[in-house]
A = this chain, B = another copy of it.
Amino acid sequence: MSSVSTDVARVLIAGSWRNASPQSTFHATDPNLNSALPETFPVSTWDDCEAALDAAAAAAVELRKLPAEKIANFLCLYADKIDSAKDSLVDAAFAETGLARSPRLADVELPRTSNQLRAAAEACRTGNWALPTIDTKAGIRSCYRPLGPVCVFGPNNFPFAFGSVSGGDFAAAIAAGNPVIGKANSSHPETTRLFAELALEAVQETGLPEATVQLLYRTDHADGERLVSDPRVGATGYTGSRSAGLTLKAAADRAGKPIYLELSSVNPVVITPGALAQRGDAIVKDFVTSVLMGTGQFCTNPGMVLLVANNDTEAFITAVKEQFESTAAGTLLSPAVTKSLGKSIQTLASLGAELLTGGGDPEPDRCAMANTLMRVDGTTFLSDPEGFQTEAFGNASVVVVANDLSQLCEVIGQLEGNLTGCIYSAEDGSEERDVEQISFALEPKVGRLLNDKMPTGVAVSPAMNHGGPYPATGHPGFTAVGVPASLLRFGKLTSFDNVRQDRLPALLQDDAPTDETMRLIDGQWRTGSV
């Protein structure tokens, strides 16, 4: 391997930065300049995957032997290191993603990332994520246990908070006691590399197995499929494009390996006539802010607005159009995102959506498209519901104008699974019957139902569900955000039946492992010992 150029970034396997088993190389792009960045990254062959899998499998065994406290210490130390390295992380991410240094990267996403790791550490330390359940009469005790090495494929749009070796899936997998093999998103490999360096330091300083965190940059598709279905893997977390995600899902499904996906979502926002009549201007502002924030590159970006035809609706559309036109278009994350957004807009237009503003060609000197608003009536939507739900990821949204409430509900009934759905309605209670009907149709379609609020904020709360029915995700029972619930994805339910006291996991022994540990003991959730 020493013949590989030292100019190519090294992969992190089994605690050491090694030259990759090279297949080819790639560069990330600076989207503000639409030009390649200097660092060269390797596309690994299966040899690297094989080495990482072996090391991860061994690390998984060691991790199961360690006290939870030790894993929690790692997560906290890593969080501290991230906070300390803020400037270099922000520089790298800005160069690779074009996201604003401040407030976005430095003041919002970075603190969210380190705080997420700390919240996961707390869930790990108390064991409260694992739903420890003790039935003293039957002599049976159960909890969720680590399920084995987790592969994390992070998305392009959150280089920190959903990063392969720094984000929510990573934090959840580690806190549940599993090693992680991170696959960097190809649009920000250098940022991911910096995180992996910090993680390795924290691993070493807290005495975790060195292969607890490993990093590859890219593999070919076939090796990706082989990776998620390998017998050594416990589960996979994937956030990204629908097509790549579904290919990985098919491979994992065939092997009986859990894979948690976050694929696509248009996040419908329903605005009732009463809401528009009472506070149309405020809702225009809410909506424009939500759809253009981060150049619309959020999983929960409101890509579809559902309205009922009337004068207020026309006024709403006109006002949104004006604000789209008067607001400078932000930079998109990468040439791939720009291309995909252009293609989605074309698809929607070709189906019959009217282009109210935007569209056209991307800017030549940076990754950017004009803010785009499209319009379709309910009848046209219903002629091709699948087509009109094409996700336009970026600073674009589609307004669907239904003839009446009944058609509005018909449109909702044709929606695919989404992460979120919002309802803005009159504040005086005058529309409760209509809202009941809308809520009833919308709730089964979405993971999170909102009232009078745009969906783009995803609070880290135990009650958060960042999930939803297929194809928003692969399973309607799991969330990617919200500690401790997100950890359950990476746990294996295990019962211990008549198992001798001193052989039980600490979480299930008579003595409570921490003062904060809540356990379902003989039917009551409580702290304290048995």
Instruction: For A463, give its contact among B135, B250, B432 (CB under 8 Å).
Output: B135
The residue in A250, A444, A485 that gathers the most chain B C-beta atoms within 10 A of its C-beta is A444
Distance (whole angstroms) from the CB of A290 to the closest CB of chain B: 13
Whether the pair A476, B492 counts as a contact (CB closer than 8 A) is yes
A117 to B462, CA, bound (A): 30
Q: What residues on B are CB-neighbors of A366 within 8 Å?
A: none
Q: Are B495's CB and A451's CB within 8 A?
A: no
CB of B64 within 8 A of CB of A258, answer no
- The reply on A212 being an interface residue by CB < 8 A is no
Q: Is the CB of A134 within 8 A of B253?
A: no
Please determine whether B463 and A492 come into contact, CB atoms closer than 8 angstroms: no
Q: Which of A142, A435, A493 has the most CB of B within 10 A?
A: A493
Distance of A479 Cα from B143 Cα, bound (Å): 12
CB–CB A250/B258 < 8 A: no
Assess whether A497 is interfacial by the CB under 8 Å rule: yes
A411 to chain B minimum Cβ distance, whole angstroms, is 16
A253 in complex: contacting residue of B133, B250, B448, CB < 8 Å: B250
Chain B residue at minimal CB-CB distance from A473: B256
Interface flag for A467 (CB, 8 Å): yes
Which of A163-171, A218-226, A346-354, A517-525 lies at the binding interface? A517-525
A141 to B450, CA, bound (A): 11
Oligomer copy total: 2
Known A-B contacts A435-B503, A493-B477; the reply to A471 vs B141 at CB < 8 A is no
Known: A61-B440, A144-B477, A256-B471. A461 touches B503 (CB 8 A): no
Is A475 a contact partner of B258 (Cβ separation < 8 A)? yes
Q: A141 vs B435: C-alpha distance in the bound complex, in angstroms?
A: 19
- Min CB gap A241→B, angstroms: 16
Residues of B within 8 A of A439 (CB): 503
Closest B residue by C-beta to A478: B493
Contact with B along A280-313 (1 / 0, CB 8 A): 0000000000000000000000000000000000
C-alpha spacing A470/B493, complex, angstroms: 13
- Structural contact, B253 and A449, CB atoms closer than 8 A: no
Contacts of A471 in B (CB 8 A): 256
**Contact, CB under 8 Å: A465 / B494:** yes
Cβ–Cβ contact A492 & B518, under 8 A? no
Q: Which of B138, B450, B482, B496 contacts A499 (CB 8 A)?
A: B450
Complex Cα distance, B485 from A141, in Å, reads 13
In the assembled complex, A145 has its CB within 8 A of some CB on chain B? yes
- Supply 16 further A-B pairs (C-beta < 8 A) apart from A147-B477, A432-B503, A479-B493: A135-B459, A135-B464, A138-B463, A140-B463, A142-B485, A257-B470, A258-B475, A432-B502, A447-B494, A448-B497, A450-B499, A451-B498, A451-B503, A478-B493, A518-B524, A518-B525
Q: A325 contacts the other chain (Cβ, under 8 Å)?
A: no
User: Contacts A436-B503, A495-B465, A523-B462 hold; do A477 and B488 have CB atoms under 8 A apart?
Assistant: yes
> Contact between A463 and B518 (Cβ–Cβ < 8 Å)?
no
Of all chain B residues, the one with the shortest Cβ separation from A460 is B138
Kindly identify, within residues 421 to 472 of chain A, every residue whose CB is under 8 Å from any CB belonging to chain B: 432, 435-436, 439-440, 443-444, 446-453, 455, 459, 461-465, 467, 469-471
Selected from B148, B448, B476, B495, the residue in CB contact (under 8 A) with A448 is B495
Q: Which residue of B lies closest to A61 (CB)?
A: B440
Known contacts A64-B440, A256-B470, A463-B138; A449 and B525 CB within 8 A of each other:
no
| Contact between B449 and A496, CB atoms less than 8 A apart | yes
User: Contact: A138 with B493, CB < 8 Å?
Assistant: no
The answer to the question of A491 belonging to the interface, with a C-beta cut-off of 8 Å to chain B, is yes
For the complex, give the distance between the alpha carbons of A491 and B444 in Å. Answer: 11
Distance, CA A257 to CA B249, complexed state (A): 12
A474-B256 contact, Cβ under 8 Å, with A449-B496, A450-B498, A525-B518: yes
For the complex, what is the distance from the CA of A254 to the CA of B250, rounded to whole Å? 7
Specify which chain B residues have a CB less than 8 angstroms from the CB of A461 in the assembled complex.
135, 138, 140
- Considering the complex, give the chain B residue whose CB is closest to the CB of A254: B250
The B-contacting residues of A in range 499-517, CB under 8 angstroms, are: 499-500, 502-503
Residues of B near A523 (CB, < 8 A) are 462
Q: How far is the CA of A327 from the CA of B465 in the complex (A)?
A: 56
Question: In the complex, A452 Cα to B133 Cα: how many Å?
Answer: 21
Q: How far is the CA of A140 from the CA of B457 in the complex (A)?
A: 12
Chain B residues with Cβ below 8 Å from A250 are 253-254
A159 to B: closest C-beta gap in Å: 25
Contact (Cβ within 8 A) B459 A140: yes
Smallest beta-carbon distance A61→chain B, Å: 7
Q: Determine how close the nearest CB of chain B comes to the CB of A382; give it in whole angstroms.
A: 16
Chain B residues whose C-beta falls within 8 Å of the C-beta of A448 in the assembled complex: 494-497
- Contact A462:B492 (CB < 8 A) given known A258-B477, A499-B451: no
Set B65, B464, B500: member contacting A142, Cβ < 8 A? B464
